[in-house]
Each structure stands twice: as structure tokens, then as C-alpha cells.
Amino acid sequence: MLARKGKLLLVIKVLSNIEGFNWNTAHELKKVSSITGGFPIVVGDRLKSSRLLDGVLYERYGLHAVSVSTLGNMLSNSMPVAHSIRGNYCATVNSEMLRKMRSHLDLTQEELARELGVSKQSVYRYESTGRVVFDVMERMLKLFERNNRLLVHENVFQSPGVDESHEYRMHVPSMKKLVAGKLEGMGFTTSITNAPFDVVARDDETVYAVVTDDQRRIGHKISLIDDIIHMVGGYGLVVTNRQVSSRRKSVLRPEDLDDFDSSDDLIDRLR
């Protein structure tokens, strides 16, 4: 789903169990986010047989996955500090602030290690990387009188890039290829997706095209494109061989695209 709050646009994949989230889906989510200018995030309830903990960031293929409650807190500007890394819960502390606080209490690394019940090497690692196991972080906060300046609240609403180094396999129906080719012939740069829109064409303007002959779903697709355009801007286009009970100028047959010599011609039609 897409959701907007002010300038923040979220592209959300909702799963009951985030174990079902795979690399191809992650790639598609990143791709759609890049196209729309949104931030991709996975929202779920469980990982395998365990419930997602509130206030914890889980990582799936370079994307953050959170519980519904955690997402709500994030939208209220309360960012989580805990990360799940290979089954361990960690937090990030400000390593420079940690060194200053230790110095303020006149503690050596070895003395702080004894207070926290860890090795001196662990303290050295905390002061180098800032990554601390969650239960140690709790003891650390208690020792430093719960000084919240020690914690790093990561702003997770930052879009990752799309990794093209991994082979991405997607079945592309011939009609999608045909429409993308015709749009490229007008001067557009196109992307084919498995999102609610099928082809995205970009020049000075962006066109989100639905390409389908599924009579049962065309009405729903048209409504969906209207919602997307309202949220992200651009123009909607529906390409189908079916008869559609609509007077919309944006509903065309594949062969109708041959009537447009340039991207500007098509945009004029869609305005």
C-alpha cells in the first residue's frame, strides 16, 4: 500500500509473517519506492513462530521490517533504538558520548566492563562501533542515570538504493512489453513493475500505466490508479483491448498508442 503523511510517502508491504518476504519482493519494493519518491518498509506480525517485538527494527534484504505498533510510534517521531541482528537484540549508542560519560565517572574501560558485566574488549567495541547488546544497554543506561543522549535514534525514513547486482527475474507478459516499447518510441524512459501499475513512463512528466485485459479487474485498477495519482502526482493511463464503460481520455487500446508521435502528445491527451 501507499500512505502519505505530509512530505513522507511510505510504500508498505504488509505480511502476517515476514519470513515470506523474499529478495525479488524486496527489489520490487525498492524499485517502486525509487519511482514514486517513497520510503519502502515491511510491516508484519511474526517472524517464523515468534511475534515481532514492538520498538525493534528487523532487517530483511536491506529493508526495515517492523510491527504495526512500531510503525505507529515512528510516525509519531518516536524512532526505535533496538535492532534484531541474527536473533540478537542490539541498540546503537553514541560512542563519543559513551567515552565522555565514562571519563566523567572517572572509569577506565576495564572498570566500566566490570560494572556492566562484560569484557574490556566489549567496552572497546562499544566505544568504537556504538553497537551494544540490548541487555547490556539497559545496564549502561542505569549506570549513566538513564541519560537518553547516549542512545542513537536512527531516522529510518531514508530510501535505500536499488541493488542491480543481483539477477532479478520477473515474468513480463507480451502486452506489457508491447506497451513499454510503444512508450519508449515516443521518447519516454520506461520501467516495468509488478506494482499496482504495470509500466512507468518518464520524460518531463511521469505516466503510471495499467496494462490489462482482465475485464473483472479493470474498474478496480482504474480506481487504484486514480488514488496513486492523487497521492504522488503524474498521469494515469489504462491500456486494454477490452470495452470499458468509461469516457476517460486515459483509457486506450494498444494500437491507439501509435497515434502519438511524442511524449508531449500523449501527455496532452492525458491532461
The model's pLDDT over 115-144, given as tens digits with 9 standing for 90+, comes to 999 999 999 999 998 889 888 988 998 898
CATH number for 211: 3.40.1350
180 and 265: one domain?
yes
184 and 259, same domain (yes or no): yes
Percent of the chain with pLDDT over 90: 52
255 and 200 part of one domain: yes
Q: Residue 159 domain-assigned?
A: no
At 161 the pLDDT is: 59
Q: What is the DSSP string of 8-68?
A: EEEEEEEEEEGGG--HHHHHHHHHHHHHHT-EEEEEEEEETTEEPPTTEEEEETTEEEE-H
| 124 shares a domain with 63 | no
| 102 in the same domain as 72 | no
pLDDT of residue 11: 93
- Same-domain status, 48 and 17: yes
Q: What is the mean pLDDT of the chain?
A: 88
Which whole number is the average pLDDT over 239-264? 88
Q: Would residue 195 count as lying in a domain?
A: yes
pTM (predicted TM-score):
0.76
Per the structure, the count of domains in the chain is 3
56 and 108 fall within a common domain: no
Name the pLDDT band for 234 (thresholds 50, 70, 90): very high
Q: Is 24 in the same domain as 58?
A: yes
Give the range of the structural domain holding residue 28, as residue numbers without chain letter. Answer: 2-80
Instruction: Yes or no: say if 208 and 197 are a contact pair by the CB < 8 Å rule.
Output: yes
* Chosen domain end from 80, 100, 127: 80
